[in-house]
Chain A
Amino acid sequence: MSTFIDKQTRLVIQGITGRDGSFHAKQMIEYGTQVVAGVTPGKGGQKFENAVPVFNTVADAVAATNANASVIYVPAAVAASAIFEAADAGIGLIVCITEGIPVLDMTRVLPFVHERGARLIGPNCPGLISPGKSKVGIIPGNICKAGRIGVVSRSGTLTYEIIHQLSTQGLGQSTCVGIGGDPLIGTNFIDCLAAFQADAETDAIVMIGEIGGTDEQQAAEFAQREVRKPIVGFIAGQTAPPGRRMGHAGAIISGSSGTAAEKMAAFAKAGIAVMKRPADVVPLLKEKLC
């Protein structure tokens, strides 16, 4: 088994006829993901690429196709609503790629998703991939390689960089999860560490954090208590000035809290091997796995 997604994942794409949605729908289908439906209000009854049925609502898509996961590519202004809709339709795994959802909207979305028993990944994330099995989101499939390393990250392209280092040096991945760069997200580091600990196909974990918040610090404490697999960690933003939002809405040092130094110290204290630079990932993993 892999983490969160596998060959049984039946995916509905919200925003399948849009610019980003259609591009990535093709990529996911090509990768082998079971894309069973698309949703664009007003385009119900059409077929995407002459193959994937399009519905007006997620509820219609679920009723007709038994979709159990959704990925969201709609614009920020309607993305919160798209998450509500997916959760209301009984979707169990909701992956929101969209960047720019107001954080106050997320304060209402998250309890709703939680009450309906759904898992939200993101928003503002690249999604996830279990190499060779399924891909939900935008992580380029060609840089990944099937294997036994679990990767969890708050970033997009930095994750690709790390995956690239792993794949080209012979370490494949069980699942790579981009949890998103926003301050309020549905799935955090602890959720992913717990999933990787429970996954029989994962031997070691790479955690890629960044400045802002305390998610990494809490995850480090959790790892020390609960995770028996080796972990290697990286924190981006050692040179970031305080009080400035570094691209990601969540990447901001508030006052003296959320610095890279504080997070790296928490990692080290919990026995997580701390990378000084992305190129350290493979040597550190090999050290830990020996």
Chain B
Amino acid sequence: MNLHEYQARDILRRHGIPVPPGEVATTAGEARAIAERFGGKVVVKAQVHAGGRGKAGGVKLAKTAAEAEAHAKAILGMTIKGLTVQRVLVAPSAEIASESYVGIIVDRASQRPVLMVSPAGGIDIEEVAAKTPEQIHRLAVDPRYGLLAHQALMLGFALYNDVKQARAAADIMQKLYGAVYAVGASLAEINPLVTTPDGAVQALDAKIAIDDNELERRPDIAALRDESAEAPAEVAAREAGLTFIKLEGSVGCCVNGAGLAMATMDLVKYYGGEPANFLDIGGSSNPQKVVAALRIITSDPQVKVILFNIFGGITRGDDVANGIVQATREFALKVPMVIRLTGTNEQLGVEILRKAGLSALTDMDEAVKRAVAVLKGTAA
């Protein structure tokens, strides 16, 4: 789960990291009032889960409160990478002497939290890594001891020659490391970490992503979720206990298991179709989940054919078949359906489908080929 910049800044502030002031507005009028409090010279920043906000016109400088209001009016409601801007952050425009980068990720290869710092801040760190990898300093932290003071200071000196600033940066890094474990972050970035003309070190912009597996034990963090920033179908799927990701194609996929779901999408593409979604109904079989899945898939007007691919293990074929039949009773399926059903209780499932006038295939390859043929109107 991604947090907005203003939410990430709040977390940093709570962990003692110096963050310049700033407030969130949802209307242009609020933005003006905030700008007035800050003396008029402010930056207005779109709060959306997308990079490249500046390039998209979602970050604007204002010299007066009236100008801030005009910028907020333009930015609120604009679309950045498919996401509608609902909030802006209004912050006093700071004078900046230098920009650096500080980030913590959980590194899969070393299986440790890794601190990355770079004196080249303010731009996308992947770009820095690609063009000037020597500008990035990395340190894998032993989670049993945490980020040690001398390690943090060493990284501080990689950013600043001035000992005061190096110490301030080291302190920020240790606090950021603490924040990562405290909120269950899988990524925490300060970009840029700035120095002001009077030498202070501050976190100007922040990005935090929370590990979804942390949310159950951290209701306060889970409450930060902004559902307006997500596709409605994905919210509905999560509430039904399904994993759903909308794509652009026309073959609606309903599969048990994430790996098989991806392989099914790939096979749709291999045979000349495009998947409309990723959907994993999960391991436990519950007819209600299948009904919910079908409701979500059929709510996408782009879907022209539905493809089930079920390999029963824990998931039982009869449960899936019951779900499909129940769904066809609850609402009209306006598009054809191709069902592949094998594994646990396959015979029971096939029988349930047959009684309802539906048929099932046993081979994955055949089913995907059939679904694409139905889509193209070439099915026998």
A100 and B211 alpha carbons, distance in the complex (Å): 10
Which residues 236-251 in B have Cβ within 8 Å of A in the complex?
243, 245, 247
Q: Which residues of A contact B111 (CB under 8 A)?
A: 106-107, 110, 184
Say what secondary structure dominates the interface of chain A. loop
Shortest Cβ distance from residue B164 to the other chain A in the assembled complex, whole angstroms: 32
* Closest residue on chain B to residue A208 by CB atoms: B259
Interface 1/0s, chain A 70-88, versus B by CB < 8 A?
Answer: 0000001100000000000
The answer, yes or no, to whether A63 is at the interface (CB within 8 Å) is: no
Name B260's contact: one of A100, A110, A158, A212 (CB within 8 Å).
A158
Which residues 121-158 in A have Cβ within 8 Å of B in the complex?
126, 138-140, 143, 153-158
Name B212's contact: one of A77, A111, A240, A245 (CB within 8 Å).
A245
A104:B184 contact, CB within 8 angstroms: yes
| Listed stretches A9-17, A34-42, A159-167; interface member | A159-167
Q: Which residues of B contact A181 (CB under 8 A)?
A: 258-259
Name A278's contact: one of B112, B113, B126, B364 (CB within 8 Å).
B364
Name 14 extra pairs, CB < 8 A, besides A157-B259, A234-B263.
A76-B213, A103-B211, A104-B186, A107-B106, A107-B113, A140-B313, A157-B311, A160-B311, A181-B259, A184-B111, A245-B212, A246-B243, A246-B258, A279-B365
Q: Which residues of B contact A104 (CB under 8 A)?
A: 106, 113, 143, 180-181, 184, 186, 211, 214
* Closest residue on chain B to residue A105 by CB atoms: B213
Task: Rank and list the top 6 A-B pairs by shortest CB-CB distance, nearest first.
Answer: A155-B259, A247-B258, A157-B257, A158-B259, A236-B262, A157-B260
The answer, yes or no, to whether B47 is at the interface (CB within 8 Å) is: no
A143 and B118 alpha carbons, distance in the complex (Å): 52
Shortest Cβ distance from residue B258 to the other chain A in the assembled complex, whole angstroms: 3
Category for how many chain B residues contact A? 35 or more
A251:B258 contact, CB within 8 angstroms: yes
The answer, yes or no, to whether B216 is at the interface (CB within 8 Å) is: yes
Which residues 188-243 in A have Cβ within 8 Å of B in the complex?
208, 210-215, 218, 234, 236-241
A39 and B256 alpha carbons, distance in the complex (Å): 30
The answer, yes or no, to whether B283 is at the interface (CB within 8 Å) is: yes
* Closest residue on chain B to residue A280 by CB atoms: B365
The answer, yes or no, to whether A183 is at the interface (CB within 8 Å) is: yes
Q: Which residues of A contact B258 (CB under 8 A)?
A: 155-156, 181, 246-248, 251
The answer, yes or no, to whether A61 is at the interface (CB within 8 Å) is: no
Q: Which residues of A contact B184 (CB under 8 A)?
A: 102, 104
B263:A158 contact, CB within 8 angstroms: yes
Name A159's contact: one of B108, B245, B259, B314 (CB within 8 Å).
B259
The answer, yes or no, to whether B278 is at the interface (CB within 8 Å) is: yes
The answer, yes or no, to whether B280 is at the interface (CB within 8 Å) is: yes
A156 and B256 alpha carbons, distance in the complex (Å): 9
Category for how many chain A residues contact B? 35 or more
A-B contact pairs, 8 of them (CB 8 A): A102-B184, A104-B106, A107-B112, A153-B259, A239-B262, A239-B274, A240-B278, A245-B212
B186:A103 contact, CB within 8 angstroms: yes
Shortest Cβ distance from residue B147 to the other chain A in the assembled complex, whole angstroms: 13
A248 and B263 alpha carbons, distance in the complex (Å): 13
| Listed stretches B8-16, B20-28, B68-76, B264-272; interface member | B264-272
Shortest Cβ distance from residue B87 to the other chain A in the assembled complex, whole angstroms: 21
The answer, yes or no, to whether A47 is at the interface (CB within 8 Å) is: no
B259:A215 contact, CB within 8 angstroms: no
The answer, yes or no, to whether B275 is at the interface (CB within 8 Å) is: yes
Shortest Cβ distance from residue A71 to the other chain B in the assembled complex, whole angstroms: 15
Q: Which residues of A contact B212 (CB under 8 A)?
A: 245, 249
